[in-house]
Amino acid sequence: MLNGRIVLGLLLLVGILAIPLSYSLDSANAASDTKDAIPLQPIIDGSKPGEVLEIKPGIYSGPVSIDKNISIRGDSSVTVLNMEAESTITIRSDGVTLQGFTVQHLTNEPTAAIQVEGDRVEITGLDIQSQSFGIVLRGSVDGLIHSNTISWAGPESASSGQKGNGIDLYNSHRTHIEDNQITGMRDGIYLENSRNLTVKANTLLHTRYGIHCMYIDGSSVMDNVGENNSTGAMVMGVKNTVVSGNSFRKQNENVHSQGILLYDVQQSSVHNNVVEGNRVGMNIAESSGNEIRGNVVLRNFIGIQLVLAEDNQFTRNQFVSNVIEASAMDSRNNEMKENYWDSFQGLDLNNDGISELSYGINPFYEQVVNRNSAYQLFFQSPGMIFMSSLFTEGKAEWTSDRSPLMSMEAQSQTTKTGTKAVKETTAVWIIGCILLGLATFIMIKMGVLRK
């Protein structure tokens, strides 16, 4: 009996000790900070319309609601902390400005650090740490979201489905989203059902989709950088939009990773982008009437993939060091001209830098794998290469570049980043040849000495 009581007592003691161990240290610290925090809502309530509130250093408690056109300014010494199941700051008035402070949104409910419902709202220089969404705009027009840092503050083991988007925008026209850095969220920037948006010079890291466009019109996605996402830019159901000057690298986490995906995209321009080191560089599906020009497609597993893509123009793109340069299925009437394909051996009889022989995208491998995915095991095997070289069925219908460039020097529409990347590839090739030559020389000399 005594032993049983001792065992029971030990179990109770272990249970009591386990409670604080299982409780997040960060959550405990945050809870302590919340108790000591200065309520922010009374300060807002005491302000007048048009007033600029300069917040003194300290920790302030949310959630708060702003229903007048005021400006709230702080610096890195100012933190607004919220652990309740509401958005930390909700903006319901037009003309509100938030600038310079830190927002910690520590709840996993589907709420936001900043919820914007008013027009002409400016949010700049905030450091947002969220366990849910970052900045959410709903029916808010003419906004400016720039120079903010948004990062995931929840557990590292959280899946993308457990996270919120960095910037989430719906029915919010003429919004400018510029120069923000977003790390570890579900989608970096999510745009839906909006017109005339500008998404420029943002950095998207370790997200599901760096930039996710759904049903937007007349917008521009320019000069953004995305790395280590599942997909750099997923552009779906879009019209009259420009995707230009972006760099999407190292999207290769799974078989569905890609630099840029165009799905159901019409009358848009995709030019001067760099897609490097992705599972698929550019994936164009069920899209038509688009201009694909001057892009550098570099060191991807598949350079460009076309599926049910029709009536698009592909001009002066560079395809360099991709394992599979291109694949095309059920894609008709696409015009390809003056692209550079580094694996193609052309014939230039008049020295104009353009081959008189066309480059056809052989669909054999894609068709075989589409029928039985297990055949991917034979990729680049001698048998697969031999069979592909013999395959000529429907060659007249293959997607073909009728006038491929003979060299990269003939290019005139490349981005600076892309040109640099291509030069780096050439330099690596030259260095490799030199090292191979030296190794061969050493081996020969050693053989001579042994004799």
Q: Consecutive 10-residue runs of the chain (451 residues): their mean pLDDT?
A: 50 41 47 78 96 96 96 97 96 98 95 98 98 98 98 93 96 98 97 98 97 97 96 96 96 84 97 95 96 96 92 95 87 91 80 82 60 56 54 62 77 44 49 58 56 49
Query: Using N-to-C axis directions, what is the helix angle for 382-390 and 364-371, rounded to 10°?
Result: 120
Pairing of strands 102-105, 242-244: unpaired
- The DSSP result for 220-253, as a single string, is EEES-EEESSSEEEEEES-BS-EEES-EEE---S
Q: Work out the angle at residue 302's Cα, subtended by the Cα atoms of residues 277 and 242, and round it to the nearest 5 degrees.
A: 75
Q: Taking the alpha carbons of 331, 335, 340, 345 in that order, is the dihedral positive or negative?
A: positive
Residues in the chain: 451
Q: Exposed (0-12), middle (13-18) or buried (19+): which is 396, by Cβ within 10 Å?
A: exposed
Q: Which helix (H) or strand (E) segment is 425 a member of?
A: helix 416-450
Query: What pLDDT shows up at residue 364?
Result: 56
Query: What pLDDT shows up at residue 401?
Result: 79
Tokens matching residue 414 = 């490349």
405: Cβ contacts below 8 Å, ≥ 6 apart? 316, 338, 339, 340, 353, 354, 355, 411
